[in-house]
């Protein structure tokens, strides 16, 4: 398949499939509908669209079809209220994580740029496990079901697009700034999850704001790097616009995340949780994730 035809296939296939879910899942409770839609946007659209940024062309076509099929079953799981339909997605993401680990070399483990790209394939498997827990009505450690769903979404977005963009920026412009961003993101994503757990149990209350601060600092580095890519004249106009929109969207989204993470210290700075997933989540998915991936593809990162 030609590169241009493959792009249309990935774009139309994922987008049409995701758009169909907007209608199919309209009966979901209002407090979880948009969270599910954003999670599906990553699974059906962002992940297949970004695969060529690291995968060999010869293996992309069949993997795209398999991933789209398994992602569609996630929606079926919500429609039928059955756990079994989400198991294939866990299998696909676990296989991707295992392959990333298996193909890692000692050089990869010592190179934060490559390590973040590996993390972008591992973290979604954790999100898929939490998604299975949510569909099975499991409440690990007594978490509210909505928190379980939000954790799954967190690892499908912050655990995917952030390390992906950090690694791509590090490849394009290695230096102290991008190195700091990579390390902060690798630490920040699991630290935020650990901090939420600590807050839930009422212990070590400093872990959550600390983890959020680390993640936000790393994300701000990625935002600045994305904007810098947008100022490079060797990229096309559309790619440059995509980088700028991606960087600005991430900048705003992470400032909101910082305010929410410090809500116990500065309560007036925090949005409510529904506002967070409506504004912060949308900015991350469409502004940062989608525009960023399209910009990297347009820049010729494949």
Domain boundaries, the chain: 3-299
* Widest CA span in the chain: 55
- For 65, residues 6+ apart whose C-beta sits below 8 A from its C-beta are none
| Per-residue model confidence as pLDDT tens for the chain (302 residues) | 445 545 555 666 677 778 888 888 888 888 889 999 999 999 988 988 887 776 554 444 556 778 888 998 999 999 999 999 999 999 999 998 998 888 776 666 666 667 888 889 999 999 999 999 999 999 887 888 988 998 999 899 988 999 999 989 888 877 777 778 888 888 888 888 888 788 778 777 778 888 888 888 888 889 999 998 888 877 788 899 999 999 999 999 988 888 876 666 666 767 777 888 789 999 999 999 999 999 998 876 54
CA dihedral 57, 63, 65, 67 (to 10 degrees): -130
The two tokens of residue 294 are 């399209």
pLDDT of residue 49: 84
Predicted TM-score (pTM) of this structure: 0.87
Task: Give the residue from 192, 251, 176 showing the smallest Cα distance to 219.
Answer: 251
264 touches 209 (CB < 8 A): yes
pLDDT of residue 267: 67
The C-alpha atoms of residue 215 and residue 244 are separated, in whole angstroms, by: 20
pLDDT of residue 302: 42
pLDDT of residue 204: 78
pLDDT of residue 276: 84
């Amino acid at each position: 398949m030609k590169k241009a035809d493959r792009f249309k296939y990935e774009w139309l296939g994922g987008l049409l499939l995701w758009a169909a879910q907007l209608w199919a899942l309209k009966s979901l409770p209002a407090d979880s509908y948009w969270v599910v839609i954003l999670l599906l946007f990553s699974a059906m659209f962002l992940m297949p669209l970004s695969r060529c940024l690291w995968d060999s062309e010869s293996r992309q076509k069949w993997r795209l079809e398999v991933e789209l099929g398994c992602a569609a079953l996630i929606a079926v799981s919500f429609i039928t209220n059955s756990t079994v339909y989400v198991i294939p997605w866990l299998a696909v993401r676990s296989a991707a994580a295992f392959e990333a680990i298996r193909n890692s070399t000692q050089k990869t483990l010592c190179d934060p740029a490559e390590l973040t790209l590996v993390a972008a394939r591992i973290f979604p498997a954790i999100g898929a496990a939490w998604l299975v827990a949510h569909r099975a009505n499991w409440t690990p450690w007594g978490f509210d079901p909505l928190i379980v769903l939000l954790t799954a979404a967190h690892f499908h977005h912050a655990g995917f697009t952030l390390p992906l963009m950090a690694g791509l920026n590090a490849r394009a412009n290695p230096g102290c700034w991008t190195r700091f961003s990579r390390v902060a993101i690798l630490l920040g994503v699991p630290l935020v999850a650990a901090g939420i757990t600590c807050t839930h149990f009422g212990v070590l209350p400093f872990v959550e704001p600390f983890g959020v601060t680390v993640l936000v600092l790393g994300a701000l580095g990625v935002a600045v790097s994305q904007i810098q890519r947008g100022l490079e004249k060797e990229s096309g106009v559309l790619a440059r616009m995509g980088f700028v929109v991606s960087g600005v969207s991430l900048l705003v989204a992470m400032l909101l995340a910082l305010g929410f993470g410090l809500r116990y210290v500065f309560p007036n700075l925090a949005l409510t949780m529904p506002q967070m997933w409506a504004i912060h989540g949308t900015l991350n998915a469409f502004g940062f994730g989608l525009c960023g991936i399209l910009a990297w593809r347009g820049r010729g990162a494949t």
